[in-house]
């Protein structure tokens, strides 16, 4: 009988382990779990009751004690690994070492996800085994908001679902929110995904009117000086940009959320100026981008809201521009005012040929204003506009007529409407002394585009969208010098393996002796 006791102990221990594993996989005490658990416990009780002296002799051996110590250390290490795995599954730590933080969600994405009020479902139609990068991105989105859910569908394995959504191409992503739907194909970037979520999560598009007929930047102009990029970005942010010839209207349209005058080259008609003035007096929102050397008539309207436009152009003599290959007439800004539009800006912006825009020293009652962007102390506002002409000599600072820097280039103001019928509304106005900084050529340079869109968001009372937007993917291959490559070769392929081999041989030789 006693010769079967070791077998009894081993079988009992095995059954106990099997029962514990089954319980861990499905934490419910049922017949499948209970039989091995109870059987294992009973066999171990029999083993220890009848073979106690055998167990005592076994544990008194020195080899058993060494083995027990080794097993104990292994169990401790395994317990630590299980603990680390348990914590890591509930708390995600991600380290993004890319230069432009490609694998970190942008400020805009985080804000949009935080403010989601309805559930947004993302359906990605990818072949099986594809789309891992998109899956990682969607996991990041879901970690930020429980309102985001997603699923991957293989069009070849689920043709009925692909047919229901009208899928004609692989790598098509569909975003759904209620009855609204947005889709895109091709590379699934954070920018595309965030724009899709933004479009389906907002119930109504706000209309932004761009004035035309006086040489303003055109929404459909794809040339260097056009505003076609602005149009595309506004559409991506769920706005509806439209052109407006105000001379053909009796008043600013009632669906206007924002009126934009982007670089007019001619003066507006008296009728148009009157309509713009009335629109602001009733609590409207306007964005003026007025270039130097041009009188548009909007200067007087801006002055009525405590904004002063200088008859000058700004010269930047700091030398910063020369590092980027730009002229003295393109001031570079790194100092921003304390305002919702600029609160998160940490990147410089630049303005090809700008005039000064400042707050009136005697602001009118009920108007709050902030100077958004200021040049360096080495700049000045040049009153002589002759250097703007071709072949003119570079300007020199004249303390008698010119204004020493820092010079403000942009102002944001808000105030109570001037008509009693607009109770509850608040007029908002942003004025820049340049329109070129947001054209097709410069919109995506540095912080220019973010600053422009932040102005749009603030003016249309969409403050939650004010942010730094998703960055574009950038290919940055690892570049190694010959010495670095040689060092890695010797360390990884020669020294490390040789060290392990020599250590192993020396231990074997000592034990053999």
pLDDT tens, 139-172? Answer: 999 988 999 999 999 999 999 999 999 999 999 9
Q: Where are the alpha helices (DSSP H) in 291-332?
A: 298-303, 320-323
Handedness of CA 207, 213, 217, 223 (dihedral sign): positive
Whether the predicted pLDDT of 98 surpasses 70 = no
What's the average model confidence in pLDDT over 408-413? 97
Whether the predicted pLDDT of 474 surpasses 60 = no
pLDDT of residue 90: 58
pLDDT of residue 478: 57
User: What confidence category does residue 253 fall into, taking pLDDT thresholds of 50, 70 and 90?
Assistant: very high
pLDDT of residue 307: 97
Which of the following CATH numbers is that of domain 204-465: 3.90.79, 3.40.630, 3.40.720, 3.40.50? 3.40.50
Whether the predicted pLDDT of 472 surpasses 60 = no
User: What confidence category does residue 103 fall into, taking pLDDT thresholds of 50, 70 and 90?
Assistant: low
Of 14-23, 209-218, 411-420, which has the strongest mean pLDDT?
209-218
Whether the predicted pLDDT of 92 surpasses 60 = no
Of 70-84, 91-105, 461-475, which has the strongest mean pLDDT?
70-84
Judged by phi (left if over 0) then psi (alpha if -120 to 50, else beta), residue 327 lies in: beta
Whether the predicted pLDDT of 500 surpasses 80 = no
What's the average model confidence in pLDDT over 298-321? 90
pLDDT tens, 219-243? Answer: 999 999 999 999 999 998 889 999 9
Q: What is the 3-state secondary structure (H, E, C) of 400-426?
A: CCCEECCCEEEEEEEECCCCHHHCCCC
Whether the predicted pLDDT of 99 surpasses 80 = no
DSSP symbols for 113-126: HHT--S-EEEEEE-
pLDDT of residue 225: 94
Whether the predicted pLDDT of 477 surpasses 60 = no
C-alpha span between 243 and 221 (Å, rounded):
12
Whether the predicted pLDDT of 248 surpasses 90 = yes
pLDDT of residue 467: 67
Domain boundaries, the chain: 2-90, 107-190, 204-465, 479-513
Predicted model pTM: 0.68
Q: Are strands 403-404 and 239-244 parallel, antiparallel or unpaired?
A: unpaired
pLDDT of residue 433: 97
User: What confidence category does residue 312 fall into, taking pLDDT thresholds of 50, 70 and 90?
Assistant: very high
pLDDT of residue 459: 97
Lowest mean pLDDT among 106-120, 289-303, 469-483: 469-483
- Which residues, other chains included, contact 6 with Cβ-Cβ below 8 Å and sequence gap of 6+? 51, 54
C-alpha span between 395 and 380 (Å, rounded):
10
Rounded to the nearest 10 degrees, the angle between the axes of helix 5-25 and helix 31-50 is 150
User: What confidence category does residue 469 fall into, taking pLDDT thresholds of 50, 70 and 90?
Assistant: low
DSSP symbols for 165-196: TT--SSSEEEEEETTEEEEEESS--HHHHHHH
User: What confidence category does residue 256 fall into, taking pLDDT thresholds of 50, 70 and 90?
Assistant: very high
Whether the predicted pLDDT of 244 surpasses 90 = yes
Q: Where are the alpha helices (DSSP H) in 203-263?
A: 228-236
Whether the predicted pLDDT of 71 surpasses 80 = no
pLDDT of residue 418: 83
Handedness of CA 305, 307, 308, 310 (dihedral sign): negative
User: What confidence category does residue 265 fall into, taking pLDDT thresholds of 50, 70 and 90?
Assistant: very high
pLDDT of residue 357: 97
What's the average model confidence in pLDDT over 301-315? 95
Q: Residue 476 burial (CB < 10 Å; 0-12/13-18/19+)? A: exposed
Contact assessment for residue 310 and residue 360, using Cβ atoms and an 8 Å cutoff? no
What's the average model confidence in pLDDT over 95-117? 76
List 76's β-bridge partners, or say none: none
pLDDT of residue 115: 86
Q: Residue 391 burial (CB < 10 Å; 0-12/13-18/19+)? A: exposed
pLDDT of residue 482: 72
- Which residues, other chains included, contact 315 with Cβ-Cβ below 8 Å and sequence gap of 6+? 328, 329, 331, 379, 380, 381, 382, 395, 397
Whether the predicted pLDDT of 270 surpasses 70 = yes
User: What confidence category does residue 503 fall into, taking pLDDT thresholds of 50, 70 and 90?
Assistant: confident
User: What confidence category does residue 363 fall into, taking pLDDT thresholds of 50, 70 and 90?
Assistant: confident
Lowest mean pLDDT among 88-92, 299-303, 387-391: 88-92
- The average confidence (pLDDT) of the chain is 85
CATH number, span 107-190: 3.40.30.10
pLDDT of residue 24: 66
pLDDT tens, 30-52? Answer: 777 788 888 888 888 877 777 76
Q: Measuring CA to CA, which residue among 93, 120, 259, 220 is closest to residue 178?
A: 120
pLDDT of residue 50: 73
pLDDT of residue 66: 67
């Amino acid at each position: 009988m006693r010769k079967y006791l070791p077998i009894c102990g081993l079988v009992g221990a095995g059954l106990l382990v099997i029962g514990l594993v089954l319980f861990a996989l499905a934490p419910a005490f049922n017949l499948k779990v209970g039989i091995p658990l109870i059987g294992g416990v009973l066999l171990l009780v029999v083993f220890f009751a009848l073979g106690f002296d055998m167990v005592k002799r076994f544990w008194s051996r020195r080899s058993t004690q060494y083995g027990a110590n080794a097993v104990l250390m292994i169990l401790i290490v395994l317990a630590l690994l299980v603990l680390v795995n348990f914590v890591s599954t509930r708390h995600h730590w991600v380290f993004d070492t890319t230069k432009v933080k490609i694998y970190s969600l942008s400020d805009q994405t985080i804000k949009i996800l935080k403010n989601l009020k309805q559930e947004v479902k993302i359906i990605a139609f990818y072949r099986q085994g594809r789309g891992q990068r998109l899956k990682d991105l969607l996991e990041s989105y879901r970690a930020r908001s429980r309102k985001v859910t997603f699923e991957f569908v293989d069009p070849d394995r689920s043709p009925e679902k692909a047919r229901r959504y009208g899928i004609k191409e692989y790598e098509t992503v569909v975003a759904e929110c209620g009855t609204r739907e947005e889709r895109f194909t091709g590379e699934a970037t954070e920018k595309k995904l965030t724009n899709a979520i933004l479009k389906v999560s907002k119930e109504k598009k706000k209309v932004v009117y761009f004035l035309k007929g006086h040489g303003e930047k055109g929404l459909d102009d794809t040339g260097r000086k056009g505003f076609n990029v602005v149009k595309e970005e506004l559409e991506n942010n769920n706005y509806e940009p439209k052109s407006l010839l105000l001379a053909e209207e009796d008043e600013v349209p009632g669906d206007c959320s924002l009126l934009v005058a982007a670089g007019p080259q001619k003066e507006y008609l008296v009728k148009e100026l009157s309509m713009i003035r009335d629109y602001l007096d009733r609590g409207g929102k306007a964005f003026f981008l007025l270039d130097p050397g041009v009188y548009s008539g909007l200067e007087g309207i801006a002055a009525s809201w405590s904004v002063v436009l200088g008859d000058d152009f700004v010269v930047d003599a700091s030398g910063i521009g020369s590092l980027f290959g730009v002229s003295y007439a393109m001031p570079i800004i790194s100092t921003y005012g304390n305002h919702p539009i600029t609160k998160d800006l940490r990147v410089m912006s630049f303005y090809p040929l700008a005039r000064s825009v400042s707050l009136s020293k005697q602001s009118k009652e009920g108007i709050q204003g902030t100077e958004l962007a200021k040049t360096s102390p080495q700049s000045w506002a040049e009153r002589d506009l002759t250097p703007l002409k071709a072949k003119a000599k570079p300007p020199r600072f004249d303390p008698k007529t010119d204004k020493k820097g820092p010079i403000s280039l942009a102002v944001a103001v808000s105030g109570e409407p001037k008509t009693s019928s607009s109770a509850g509304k608040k007029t908002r106005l942003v004025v820049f002394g340049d329109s070129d900084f947001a054209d097709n050529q410069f919109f995506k340079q540095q912080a220019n585009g973010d600053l422009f869109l932040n102005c749009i968001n603030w003016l249309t009372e969409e403050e939650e969208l004010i942010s730094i937007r998703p960055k574009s993917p950038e290919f940055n291959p690892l570049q190694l010098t010959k010495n670095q490559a040689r060092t890695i070769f010797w360390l990884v392929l020669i020294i490390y393996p040789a060290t392990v081999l020599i250590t192993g041989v020396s231990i074997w030789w000592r034990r053999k002796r």
